[in-house]
Amino acid sequence: MNPTTLKGACHCGAVTFEADTPIEPAKRCNCSYCRRRGAVMSPPFTRDKLRILSGEDDLALYQFNTQVAQHFFCKHCGIYTFHQTRSNPQEWRVNLGCIDGVDAYALASTVADGASSSVVRDA
Ligand SMILES: [Zn+2]
């Protein structure tokens, strides 16, 4: 699928963004963080493909373990919007559940083995 401009928002609408990326292949991850949030994520793209349209000050950052990945979420509604990946810090993914017109649960998605690819135990 060719890249397209995806438009997304957190649940309360404070944070809105666009990303130029295909929707598939969608990905999930089994690391200790992702298995809790349960998101279906877009394919990776570079930071220049992501535009935060509103709510940059409403974003909170969560980091753990190796402190490499940057997991952003809305500080009001708590919804994960996008993150910078640990496996390649040049790459970002968005939460497909935040994207207008996308049924993230209808997409075939593989599960990344983030749990065993981390350098720290129980990542
Ligand atoms: Zn929000």
Q: Does residue 116 lie in a domain region?
A: no
Write down the pLDDT at residue 118. Answer: 60
Count of structural domains, the chain: 1
Q: Does residue 109 lie in a domain region?
A: no
CATH at residue 17: 2.170.150.70
Chain segment 2-43, per-residue pLDDT in tens: 679 999 999 999 999 999 999 999 999 998 889 999 999 999
Cα-to-centroid distance, 71 and ligand 1 (Å): 14
Chain segment 35-81, per-residue pLDDT in tens: 999 999 999 999 999 999 999 999 999 998 888 889 999 999 999 99
Write down the pLDDT at residue 110. Answer: 85
Q: Does residue 111 lie in a domain region?
A: no
45 lies in which domain range?
4-23+41-101
Which is higher by pLDDT, 88 or 46?
A: 46
Cα-to-centroid distance, 25 and ligand 1 (Å): 26
Rounding to the nearest 10 degrees, give the CA dihedral for residues 42, 85, 9, 47: -90
Cα-to-centroid distance, 35 and ligand 1 (Å): 21
Q: Does residue 16 lie in a domain region?
A: yes
Asked if 40 and 109 touch (Cβ cutoff 8 Å), the reply is yes
Q: Does residue 83 lie in a domain region?
A: yes
Q: Does residue 28 lie in a domain region?
A: no
**Tokens of residue 56, six digits:** 């940059």
Cα-to-centroid distance, 118 and ligand 1 (Å): 29
Cα-to-centroid distance, 51 and ligand 1 (Å): 16
Cα-to-centroid distance, 59 and ligand 1 (Å): 8
Element (H, E) at 27: strand 26-29
Cα-to-centroid distance, 90 and ligand 1 (Å): 25
Residue 1 confidence (pLDDT) above 80: no
The strand pairing partners of 29, in sequence order, are 112
Residue 119 confidence (pLDDT) above 80: no
